[in-house]
Structure 1
């Protein structure tokens, strides 16, 4: 994935995919092997193992695997930059400006304990 440079080096991408993501998937598979969760999708494992924030190893590994999959699948050459269209409209409505959103998004990730995952999400009710 040299195409992601200068934002992410090929080595960094491969490290996330080959080491972090692989370890979470392998550990989760060991934890759910032979259980009713063994045939579930990753999304379903995340949902059924969530314990209102309680420390469940299967949830931790499932959530980290999901975060890595979402992150890695979202990467694309030439991606990023300022949002446009309806997304930009909603960002400006809710954050005041795109620059303010970027500040708050970076702050959310930087102050998140652990891996620092931060996602922008929307519901149809907004």
Structure 2
């Protein structure tokens, strides 16, 4: 979030100016969501990572999607299918203790948009892949599976389950 937006928010809060606070929400959602999404994205990857998941995340993927390959197919199709700029996600739904694949437009945070806790996020904004993959988003999505840090995704799932009381 830019310092200007934050400064304006503080001023609006101090003045109890609800209209000004509401006017700032799109910038807060965009910039704050971008920071949050990218923080997750960068920790979801690691050198010499990838491969099949193990542990709790593997069990949850198999339970929800039937197999790791079925999950990969669903996650890939959703991520490739984002219209314009956005994100592909594997999220945890605390209400029913299940995983789900979802997408978000622009920098919208998964938790705000879908009520799910983000576990694995893929930036499908063109800037994320254009230099190496040009307009071949599907190739970029396929390559993402070679760098997924499943240990990080496992930690996120365990934390999410604990915070939801599961």
1:58 aligns with 2:32: no
TM-score scaled by length of structure 2: 0.43
| RMSD of aligned alpha carbons | 2.7
Which one scores higher on RCO, CA 8 angstroms, separation ≥ 6? 2
In the alignment of these two chains, the number of paired residues is 85
* Structure 1 position 36, deviation (Å): 3.0
* In 2, Cα distance between equivalents of 1:114 and 1:61: 18
Q: Is the 1:109–1:117 contact (alpha carbons within 8 Å) kept by the matching residues of 2?
A: yes
1:84 aligns with 2:58: no
**Which residue, out of 70, 76, 85, partners 1:106?**
76
Structure 2 runs not aligned, ≥5 long = 12-20, 98-166
Match of 1:73 in 2: 43
TM-score scaled by length of structure 1: 0.55
* Structure 1 position 34, deviation (Å): 4.7
* In 2, Cα distance between equivalents of 1:86 and 1:93: 10
* Structure 1 position 57, deviation (Å): 2.1
Structure 1 runs not aligned, ≥5 long = 1-24, 38-48
SS at structure 1 position matched to 2:89: coil
